[in-house]
Amino acid sequence: MAASPTSLTEKPLSRKTFDDLEGVFSEEEVLFRLIHFWEARNHTRGNSLIGLELLFIDEKSTTIQAFIPANRISRYEKSLKPNSVYKMKKFIISPCKKLFKVSAHKYGICFTNKTDLDEVTKGEHKIASQKFRIRSFNDFAAIVDRNGDLFDVIGQIRLITGDNLSAATSNAEEPKAANGKSKDKVFMHLLMKDGETVRIYLWDNIAAKFRTRWNASETKPTILLLTTVNAKFLGGMHTPYQTLSEQDPTFGSSSSAITKIETLTLNELHEFIKNKTPQEISFQCVATIVNVLGEYHWNYVSCTYCNTMLEKLDTTMTCTTCKKPNKVGVLRYRFEISVSDENNGLATFVIFDREGIHFAGRRAPEVFASEYPEGDDPDECELISKKTPQCILDIVGRTCKFQVKLTPYNFRATRQTFTVSRIIEDNIDIHYKSNQKEMATEEPEHATHIASGKAKNKVDDLDLEEHTKNKTYKRLRHNY
């Protein structure tokens, strides 16, 4: 039956928590709070309605994702109220979703024609009203373009722009679209706790709700929490979209989770390693690239599910992190550069895939394919894959503002290298910068949009043909 208010004065039935669920159908009752719900639509088939997705949380603060098929929405929709407590029984227990997941639970719940859902209006319930899955930049990078887990993100607003941000939009007004694309959007840069800056896109009703709250705020917030974001890779940057959940973004004026990134010289960076306790922290450094260390090669073959280097077994390649076999790996950048600053400090920086694309202007498979044309002797493949391509050698002499990330490993390593997590500025005039001290410590307002003209244009135009990638990976596997 449809949801109806009920009292707790009735003799309670035996209730289960979400962790107690087992089998394929539950006759027993569960008590939970509805965190929020949203429409699931098929955008490839005329934006047709598939059903309602819901997120529940029980008294043990365990969340589970639920689903109401489109043909049953009318039966329950009017009774669904976020933050309300319900009891429910007679529902299907299904394996968790593989795509667009908002809960880590191994099971999901599906409503049937027999499902009983009743709102509980009396009594005290020690059920949390929310549970966040806040993740770091690296967590988002590992799941980019997979449409799998939809994690939450918190950060400091560094840039914000969008349609009608100076005027409120009624939530009752349906956003207009042209050629299947919404004109209603909000775009921002968000600085995360680990020092990484990501681009955030809000669309349609979510953008309208955000804009209404933003315009209504007398004091504009500086900290933003967004839930269920979908990570994408656009133009050389990881870009979370908030497209599925219609839960309002949470505003805040300050947060201890956001810290200013300090600018150090290379010598100060080495001193920090020597004198401080092991920790995870990011710094910024202005340095000139003086050499590309070709002896450490320029690429590696990574897992298709994460960025870990694959290990070769007898008949396949495997990932030591996610433990999944890989028939074909992904070629990614990994090369080392020697840098120097104006104080004659020296250091070795490690460049990985995202920053490698920034410098080379092309993805690693495309560079490999151009260095090893189809039809050449496969026996030469391994030698060519180790030879540093000219597009990487050409970066010598460029002065950049790097952001480097230190981990506990840096404090115990015998050979000291620093991983570059972001290139803030490229091809800058180091002498001009040194004459303006305030600019040396200024935090970037934009996320790596000052790439060199040629490199940026190439990155924006990245579109590798699938057959080219497959042939390249096949040759790599042959020699891996």
Domains of the chain, by residue range, sit at: 15-119, 137-252, 262-479
With a cut of 90, say whether residue 159 has pLDDT above it.
Answer: no
What is the pLDDT averaged over residues 167-196? 60
Lowest mean pLDDT across 196-200, 363-367, 407-411: 196-200
Confidence band of 373 (pLDDT split at 50, 70, 90): low
CA distance 155 to 257: 8
The CA-based dihedral angle spanning residues 234, 238, 239, 242, taken in that order and rounded to the nearest 10 degrees: 130
Q: What per-residue confidence (pLDDT) applies to 435?
A: 44
With a cut of 90, say whether residue 15 has pLDDT above it.
Answer: no
Lowest mean pLDDT across 126-130, 266-270, 312-316, 450-454: 450-454
Question: Which residue has better confidence, 434 or 272?
Answer: 272
DSSP state of 175: P
Q: What per-residue confidence (pLDDT) applies to 306?
A: 72
Under 8 Å between Cβ of 252 and 224: yes
Highest mean pLDDT among 54-68, 118-132, 357-371, 432-446: 54-68
Measured CA angle at 361 (ends 360, 364), to 5 deg: 65
CA distance 246 to 160: 19
- Assign domain 262-479 to its CATH superfamily: Nucleic acid-binding proteins (2.40.50.140)
Question: Which residue has better confidence, 249 or 449?
Answer: 249
As given in the structure block, the two tokens for residue 160 are: 């914000």
Q: What per-residue confidence (pLDDT) applies to 3?
A: 55
What is the pLDDT averaged over residues 94-121? 91
262-479 matches 137-252 in CATH topology? yes
Any idea how long the chain is? 480
Question: Which residue has better confidence, 103 or 7?
Answer: 103
Q: Can you give 358-427 as a three-state secondary structure string?
A: HHHCCCHHHHHHHHCCCCCCHHHHHHHHHCCCHHHHCCCCCEEEEEEEECHHHHCCCCCCEEEEEEEECC
pTM, two decimals, is 0.48
Confidence band of 317 (pLDDT split at 50, 70, 90): confident
Report the candidate in 1, 24, 36, 28 with the shortest Cα–Cα distance to residue 12: 28
Question: Which residue has better confidence, 45 or 60?
Answer: 60
Confidence band of 316 (pLDDT split at 50, 70, 90): confident
With a cut of 70, say whether residue 464 has pLDDT above it.
Answer: no
Q: What per-residue confidence (pLDDT) applies to 165?
A: 67
The burial of 210, by beta-carbon neighbours within 10 Å (0-12 exposed, 13-18 middle, 19 or more buried), is given as: buried
Question: Which residue has better confidence, 267 or 182?
Answer: 267
According to CATH, the topology of domain 15-119 is OB fold (Dihydrolipoamide Acetyltransferase, E2P) (2.40.50)
DSSP state of 53: E
> What does R_g of the chain's alpha carbons equal in angstroms?
26
Question: Which residue has better confidence, 231 or 32?
Answer: 32
Confidence band of 454 (pLDDT split at 50, 70, 90): very low
pLDDT tens column, 249-298: 554 433 333 445 788 999 999 999 988 888 888 889 999 999 999 999 99
With a cut of 50, say whether residue 247 has pLDDT above it.
Answer: no
pLDDT tens column, 82-106: 999 999 999 999 999 888 889 999 9
CATH class of 137-252: mainly beta
Could you give the 3-state DSSP secondary structure of residue 57? strand
With a cut of 80, say whether residue 370 has pLDDT above it.
Answer: yes
Report the candidate in 162, 171, 258 with the shortest Cα–Cα distance to residue 202: 162
Tell me the sheet residues that pair with 15: 29
What is the pLDDT averaged over residues 296-319? 80
Q: What per-residue confidence (pLDDT) applies to 327?
A: 59
Report the candidate in 356, 360, 366 with the shortest Cα–Cα distance to residue 469: 366
pLDDT tens column, 331-353: 899 999 999 999 999 999 999 99
Could you give the 3-state DSSP secondary structure of residue 206? helix
The burial of 406, by beta-carbon neighbours within 10 Å (0-12 exposed, 13-18 middle, 19 or more buried), is given as: buried
What is the pLDDT averaged over residues 356-369? 90
Q: What per-residue confidence (pLDDT) applies to 174?
A: 40
Confidence band of 455 (pLDDT split at 50, 70, 90): very low
Confidence band of 382 (pLDDT split at 50, 70, 90): low
Q: Report the mean per-residue pLDDT for the chain.
A: 76
Under 8 Å between Cβ of 199 and 237: yes
Could you give the 3-state DSSP secondary structure of residue 58? coil
Lowest mean pLDDT across 15-19, 89-93, 229-233, 372-376: 372-376
Q: What per-residue confidence (pLDDT) applies to 160?
A: 81
